[in-house]
Structure 1
Amino acid sequence: MNDLRSEDARKGVQEKRRQDDLVVDLSLLFARAMRANPNTCFDNVIDMMVHYLPEAFSAAGKLVEGWYVVDLEDEVVLNEHGWYTLPDGRILDPTVVILVPPERPVYYFAGVERTYQEVKTILQQKEAWFPYIRCVGTYGDDGLGHPDYAAAYEAARKKALALAHASKLPKRMTFLTAQDLEEPQEAMGLQVRLFIVQEER
């Protein structure tokens, strides 16, 4: 079997897969309740943590600033991304469930994790924005001066390269940051798909 995980992922940066680690039903429920926007991942995860169910999120789990890789039919996309990790390591992501069709593989690479209290403190600062690793200024404009964030990026980049070259004809690769506009995402075929979850009667 061909192991497409990067060396960084095998050594320390843990690669998580949407198919294995994402809690889809709960992510969709939050996306629907919040009317999540598909291109504002940090706003979505912060709304989920701080505004919609703070009593649950304040106890455990973390907001993650990192990267994800989406393996599309003719393209591989590496994107700076924010999501929530439960204490058991599973992921809540109200953005990916409305942005990327369910059959598309998505791989997560965590860079920096922040507790509920840390997120609340950051939100009280004027001019603060997420990913905070880039806003704080200590680690450069791209945040890659932080060793964990840089390691997550490098693992995601290597994963994107491996996926792009795994097919007979190499796929095009696109690298996006959290500040990129919606148009590039729409142009590459990442479509808004809102799934309505209803209770069975």
Structure 2
Amino acid sequence: MNSHGDHTQVQGRAWSEHEYMLSFFISMQVGAVWGHCYENAYPLFFAIPELFDPHGLFIEGWIVFEDTDRVVLMEHGWLLSRQQYIVDPTIVLAVEISQPVYYYPGVSRARAELEALENEFFPHVRFSGYRDDGMQHAGYLAAYESALQKARSMLSEKKTFVEVKATLLPSQDEVVSQSSDFGVIVVQRNGGGPHGQERG
């Protein structure tokens, strides 16, 4: 769905090996950095138009994955190609190809909307009148609730639950003071300018 449209993305979709390899290759090419999911994804959308035009999407939502002793629910940003492949240059830096990652899209943004949001904070749903956590947006809330249910279903005695929400690093005092401690990053197509760092 776009930020105001119908919910068309599948909730809880696990990505394929093909999507992992595509994301890994792109991540290595662009020098993606762990913990900067929105900053990694935003300029990538414009850098490879043959992959994302005309129907590609920038997604704000949640992912669920597990490792040796944790089940992680993470606020996250990624892309969908024009052929609806998941392109996630960030999570490939933390998981192996054999580790399932489940995607829960909350807000989807097409190119025209993304162009208008350059130099804005992300996840932008938090800065669009849907409360500080974005949870007054029906799609974002539904994605979170579905992701939380999935994470709980994966828990066992040997696994602890970890929820990761986008946040600024403590050193970003100026940006924090402007965004009530929950802002994330200011995105730009060329990667320049002032940036907070989101953990997700």
User: What stretches of structure 1 move > 3 A for 4+ residues in a row?
Assistant: none
- Unpaired runs of 5+ residues, structure 2, are 1-8, 171-200
Provide the alpha-carbon RMSD of the alignment.
2.1
Mapped partners of 1:53, 1:163: distance in 2? 36
Alignment of 1:42-191 (within 5 A): 42-50=38-46, 52-54=47-49, 56-123=51-118, 128-136=120-128, 138-164=129-155, 167=156, 169=157, 171-179=159-167
Distance 2:82 2:70 in 1: 33
Aligned residue among 28, 36, 40 for 2:36: 40
| Percent identity of equivalent pairs | 35
The residue correspondences of 1:4-15 to structure 2 (distance < 5 A) are 14-15=11-12
Further displaced range: 84-93 or 143-152: 84-93
- Structure 2 SS opposite 1:178: coil
Report the CA distance shift for 1:172/1:56 in structure 2 as closer, same or farther (over 3 A).
Answer: closer
Greater displacement, 143-152 / 67-76: 67-76
Partners of 1:13 and 1:151 within 8 A in 2? no
Q: 1:89 to 1:55 in 2, by over 3 A?
A: closer
Whole-angstrom distance in 1 between the partners of 2:81 and 2:30? 19
The 1-side partners of 2:138 and 2:83 are apart by 24
Runs (5+) with no aligned partner, structure 1? 1-11, 183-201
TM-score (norm 2): 0.74
Number of aligned residue pairs: give it: 162
- TM (normalized to structure 1)? 0.74
Partners of 1:106 and 1:153 lie apart in 2 by: 15
Q: Which has the higher helix share?
A: 1
